[in-house]
Structure 1
Amino acid sequence: MRPAILILGITLGTIFCFRSEISAAEDVSVAPIPLPSDEPLQLELLNNPRGLVRTANTISQEQLTIPSLWWAKENSQNKLLDNWIAYPATKIRPGRVDLIVNEQIWTLLDYLERYNFVNYLGGVVRGNKYNMRVFNYQKELLATYTCNFQTIKPLCQIKMNTQTFLEMSF
């Protein structure tokens, strides 16, 4: 029972803390957070990226590759982050990063450790105006980090299983 109370307290604290920073111009009813992409995970792109799609194995010799997740991959707890596929923004959609995690390690983490992982990497990709989804190699959607980049400060939402959290960027 204690973990449920702790999670509820953290959830309410997070919502109240970030909700107080939303101005009238950024009201959630005026600027809704879009739903996460429903595009299927394309694991074949890990071995054969096409066009402007980037993966952990795609390194540009001329410039920094955006989004840059190599440092996060090297420092992810217990090698949790295995690979990623980054899709550039289009005229109708922001960029998207699909993370692929090591499922054996993911299942060992408790809820708060998973949330921290999603929140940290979501913040990394948000800085480059990307949304993020987290999958395992069985293509199961484990979590999402989705933002509305049309507001002055991006308004973001984390979804893990059936839980939803709001976050304001700073």
Structure 2
Amino acid sequence: MSKCNVVTGQKSLSLILSLSLSTFSILPPLPSRAESIPQPSDAPLELNVLTKPTASVITANTINPKNLTIPSLWWAKENSENKLLDNWIAYPASEQETARVDLIVNQQVWSLLDYLERYKFVNGLGSMARNFGYNIRVFNYQQEMLATYTCNLSKSPALCNIKMSIQSKLGLRQNLQLTEE
């Protein structure tokens, strides 16, 4: 191959690479799966609603005499291992936030569970709440957020994210995040 052909080939390759890179640089970036899942609500836990519920909020003590109350988490409460789920507060969707359920767990039982048992609890109740159109947050009575299960319900299948706070033997808290479909 002559020196002229090699130089021409290198210039052609250089031109093709330049065009390719400039084309990719003008394309908008594609959103990642995590970007399309909303962040959990940062609204504070309202424990006073448990004793003084409002008309739009549903708790474990709310009973509709005519039909099934949505979300229906009573079965999950009765069947939660060692009475882990103590109560919940369900908030309907508003203009500012998606529908959510704040679960209140028994801290003593929660602290006895290992990571996989906690994950199973959060994933199970999160999936159940998602079927009713709700995201969940898990709290103890000290109002510490222990976990969240948040979904983009407009996608099919729904894109969901689980965040769990884990405490080490030294008492240090770490946050762990898992994204699933």
TM-score range relative to shorter protein: 0.7 to 0.9
Moved more, 73-82 or 158-167: 158-167
Where does residue 12 of structure 1 map in the other structure? Answer: none
Q: Matches of 1:26 and 1:60 in 2, distance apart?
A: 42
SS at match of 1:62: coil
Q: Matches of 1:60 and 1:137 in 2, distance apart?
A: 26
Higher relative contact order (CA 8 A, sep 6+): 1
Where does residue 69 of structure 2 map in the other structure? Answer: 65
Where does residue 84 of structure 2 map in the other structure? Answer: 80
Q: Matches of 2:44 and 2:96 in 1, distance apart?
A: 18
Q: Matches of 1:122 and 1:59 in 2, distance apart?
A: 21
What letter is aligned with 1:165? L
Cα deviation, 1:39-58, whole Å, max 9, x if unaligned, reads: 00000000111021000000
Give yes or no for contact 1:26–1:152 (8 Å, CA) kept in 2: no
Residue 168 of structure 2 is aligned to residue 164 of structure 1: no
Identity %: 60
Q: Matches of 1:37 and 1:93 in 2, distance apart?
A: 7
Gaps of 5+ in 2: 1-29, 166-174
Where does residue 109 of structure 1 map in the other structure? Answer: 113
Q: Matches of 1:28 and 1:138 in 2, distance apart?
A: 33
1:92 offset after TM fit, Å? Answer: 4.0
Cα deviation, 1:106-157, whole Å, max 9, x if unaligned, reads: 0000010000000000000000110100000000000000001121221000
Where does residue 91 of structure 1 map in the other structure? Answer: 95
Q: Matches of 1:77 and 1:57 in 2, distance apart?
A: 20
What letter is aligned with 2:49? L
Could you list the structure 1 runs, at least 4 aligned residues long, displaced by more than 3 angstroms after superposition. Answer: none
Q: Matches of 2:156 and 2:63 in 1, distance apart?
A: 32
Gaps of 5+ in 1: 1-24
Q: CA RMSD in A?
A: 1.6
Give yes or no for contact 2:41–2:97 (8 Å, CA) kept in 1: no
Where does residue 10 of structure 1 map in the other structure? Answer: none
Q: Matches of 1:117 and 1:88 in 2, distance apart?
A: 22
Cα separation, partners in 2 of 1:92 and 1:152, compared to 1, 3 Å: farther
Where does residue 60 of structure 2 map in the other structure? Answer: 56
- Output aligned runs, 1:19-38, within 5 Å: 28=33, 32-38=36-42
1:26 offset after TM fit, Å? Answer: 9.3
Cα deviation, 1:21-72, whole Å, max 9, x if unaligned, reads: xxxx99627x611110000000000011102100000000011000000000
SS at match of 2:36: coil
Q: Matches of 2:33 and 2:94 in 1, distance apart?
A: 24
Give yes or no for contact 1:135–1:143 (8 Å, CA) kept in 2: yes
TM-score of the two chains, using structure 1 as the length reference: 0.80
